[in-house]
Amino acid sequence: MSVDVKVASTRAQARIGSVIKDKWRLDRLLGVGGMACVYAATHRNKKRAAVKMLHVEYSNDRGIRDRFLREGYLANSVGHRGVVTVDDDDIAEDGSAFIVMELLDGETLEQRWRRKGHRLPLEEVLAVADQVLDALAAAHDQGVVHRDLKPENLFLTRDRVVKLLDFGIGRLKELQPLPTTTLSGATMGTPAFMAPEQAKGRWEDVDGQTDLWALGATLFTLLTGEYVHEAQTVNETLALAVTRPARPIRSVRPDLPGVAAALIDRSLSFAKAQRFPDARAMQAEVRRVYAELSGNEGTHHSPLAVPEPEPLVRLPVAQEATDPRLRFTTARGVSASGLPAPRRAAWAPVSTRRWVLWGGVMSFSLLLVVLMREWASSRGEDPPSAPPVSAIVAPVGAAPAPAPPEASAPVPHVSVDQLPQEPRKKSGAGAGTPAKKDDPFARRR
């Protein structure tokens, strides 16, 4: 079963302004995904929040609905500021299940990654990893495994806190694994970020180290602009995840410092025994690597600061991922906020464009007349008289000027060597902007 995102978007837009359960007014649509949509909402007591609604087609399936509602129970059991809290859950009048979450302001790591040209700076990626690992350590201590870590499910807030989104397919270790046939046999998770044991469907082996592999794959993508396993289809991606170890990150980014590459390569080890044993061990290594690259090896026990996200103008409707390796998931995360697409500057009004074009043509025509006079003077000939501007070009939109009764003399050719030359600027290694000395990562970029 699948839902057409365009149909779901139209239906989600129609809900704006309505009140569900006589308490939550849906103010605006923040995002639409393959499984759910998210609204900014206001409670009747004026509290603001995000309402995440499961599409009605999935809400009618008890197994999917229960898994969706369980997201709140898992997230709240972690008790960490890096995990989005869920305040309420219920069933709307049209039968759609929904949960009420804290309203976030910022952008997902996927949105930031795309805005920055599909590559983020190493120091920024390490700082994000530090916060994610802190939240994962708290989750794993409570027996909660996320199972769908990816850039789309990591949210950078305005106050520079990285939040883990979408615990919808997470589970408690003490719970029985969920059947994988709920959605026509679909594997739970996102193929491009699946550890080998998860791609194989061996749910008894899926644990905290599986989340660490997914985080390593996330860091790999944020730094290189590529996925760990490059393939064309979902099945090919899963097959590579099951049978082939991750390629070394320096095969894609040879300029990456060795200590940072070793960190990511270890987290992506095919065998679980070769990965970091837990989130705290990986977090300690992230801080050690950051301190070494910064030249402050004695201060690697403090948290790393992440940058502030860009200001947002508006919150658009999210589009379904075009890459099937990212779209194939049984509980697709929908962020509570988003980054608008870059706005293109509109052209000036027609009248303004007409005057600008007219002025440019006039300037070029006058320059051509001056060059013709200079050329004639250098040959000792009488310089040609300049025709009136109206004979050179007519304003935009005017009728073409009539041809003169007599053929005009051919326009003399002016070579490039006869044009006035400007002195050339010296070029060299010092022409560029030098790297700032206080940037510890500048020498390695």
Range of the domain at 118: 106-341
pLDDT at residue 337, rounded to an integer = 32
Do 225 and 120 reside in the same domain of the chain?
yes
Is 161 in the same domain as 81?
no
By DSSP bridging, strand 106-108 and strand 86-91 are unpaired
> Do 313 and 220 share a structural domain?
yes
- Tell me whether residue 266 is in a domain: yes
Give the three-class secondary structure for 135: helix
Let me know if residue 397 belongs to a domain: no
Q: Is 14 within the bounds of a domain?
A: yes
Confidence at residue 329, expressed as pLDDT on a 0 to 100 scale:
38
Other beta carbons within 10 Å of 84: 26
- Ranges of residues in the chain with a pLDDT under 70 are 1-2, 168-188, 297-358, 361, 375-445
Same domain, 152 and 32: no
Last residue of a domain, one of 314, 341, 368: 341
* Same domain? 213 vs 226: yes
Q: Is 148 annotated in the active site?
A: yes
Q: Verify that 93 and 110 share a domain, yes or no.
A: no
Q: What is the pTM of this model?
A: 0.66
Q: How many folded domains does the chain comprise?
A: 2
Q: Is the same domain home to 122 and 245?
A: yes
Structure tokens at 63: 């197994």
- Please enumerate in sequence order all residues whose Cβ is within 8 A of that of 149, keeping only pairs 6 or more positions apart, or say none: 132, 164, 193, 211, 214, 215, 218
- Please tell me the predicted confidence (pLDDT) of residue 1: 57
Choosing from 4, 94, 130, 148, the catalytic residue is 148
**What's the half-sphere exposure (Cβ side, CA atoms, 13 Å) at 28?**
11
pLDDT given for residue 256 in this prediction? 97
Predicted pLDDT at 38: 93
pLDDT value, residue 297: 63
How far apart, in whole angstroms, are the C-alpha atoms of residue 445 and residue 433?
14
Tell me whether residue 258 is exposed, middle or buried, using C-beta atoms within 10 angstroms of its C-beta: 0 to 12, 13 to 18, 19 or more.
exposed
Establish how many alpha carbons lie within 13 A of residue 248's alpha carbon, considering only the half-sphere containing its beta carbon. 11
Same structural domain, 208 and 287: yes
111 and 21, same domain (yes or no):
no
> If you search the block for the tokens 């690259």, which residue do you land on?
293
The residue among 341, 371, 389 that closes a domain is 341
Question: Is residue 424 a part of any domain in this protein?
Answer: no
DSSP letter at 5?
A: H
pLDDT of residue 285: 97
φ/ψ of 156, rounded to 5, equals -100, 115
φ, ψ for residue 149, nearest 5 deg: -75, 135
